[in-house]
Structure 1
Amino acid sequence: MSVQAAFPTLDVRTIAPRERHPTIFTMFRSLAANQAMELVNDHDPRPLYFQFQEQVPGKFAWDYVEVGPEVWRVRITRLATGHGNGQCCGSCGGA
């Protein structure tokens, strides 16, 4: 993982395929509300998008920064939740 000035970057091209999604979700969950990370991949991570929709619906933004053909970059932002008082509602799993 390297860090740019604005937000952390995770280049998954060097990570074993079976470890990629768990690593991405770990980094995502470490983000503060409204903080973004950049994902770098060698293919369109569209299946990951659907996994985000399933695991953290409404709690992320997905913006393509670069679209192939050799490198894809996606900015994934952790959106603020309705937990303004610091209390978990119990339905989001703390995401």
Structure 2
Amino acid sequence: MEAEHTLDVRFMEPKLKHPAIFQRFDDLLPGETFTLVNDHDPIPLYYQFQAERRGQFEWHYSEKGPEAWKVLITKVNPEEA
């Protein structure tokens, strides 16, 4: 896993996590992916993505705890979703 394609938010202040994640996502080009690393299941974030970026992303767990949850988040072209 390359560092530039990973966003580890485990030690980030909670109020800064979602804005940082959405900024990283918004900076992606269609087809690009980053790995989110968190200390808990980021399912509330998934629902926020569904509400705010529906049809623009794919979400795949690569690890489900107990120490870390890793999610591959890919930006997709809305026409191809």
TM-score using structure 2 length? 0.91
- TM-superposed CA distance for 1:70, in Å, is 1.3
2:2 alignment partner in structure 1:
4
1:48 alignment partner in structure 2:
45
Q: What are the ranges of 5 or more consecutive residues in structure 1 without an aligned counterpart?
A: 83-95
SS at match of 2:73: strand
Q: What are the ranges of 5 or more consecutive residues in structure 2 without an aligned counterpart?
A: none
2:26 alignment partner in structure 1:
29
* 2:76 equivalent to 1:79: yes
Structure of greater relative contact order (alpha carbons < 8 Å, 6+ residues apart): 2
SS at match of 1:14: coil
SS at match of 1:48: helix
Report the structure, 1 or 2, having the larger helix content. 2
Report the residue type matching 2:28 in the other structure: L
Larger Rg: 1
Q: In percent, how many aligned pairs have the same letter?
A: 48
Deviations 1:37-82 (A, max 9, x none): 1000010000000000000001100000000111100000000134
Report the residue type matching 1:4 in the other structure: E
Quote the RMSD (CA, aligned, Å): 1.5
Report matched runs for 1:59-70 at 5 Å.
59-70=56-67
TM-score using structure 1 length? 0.78
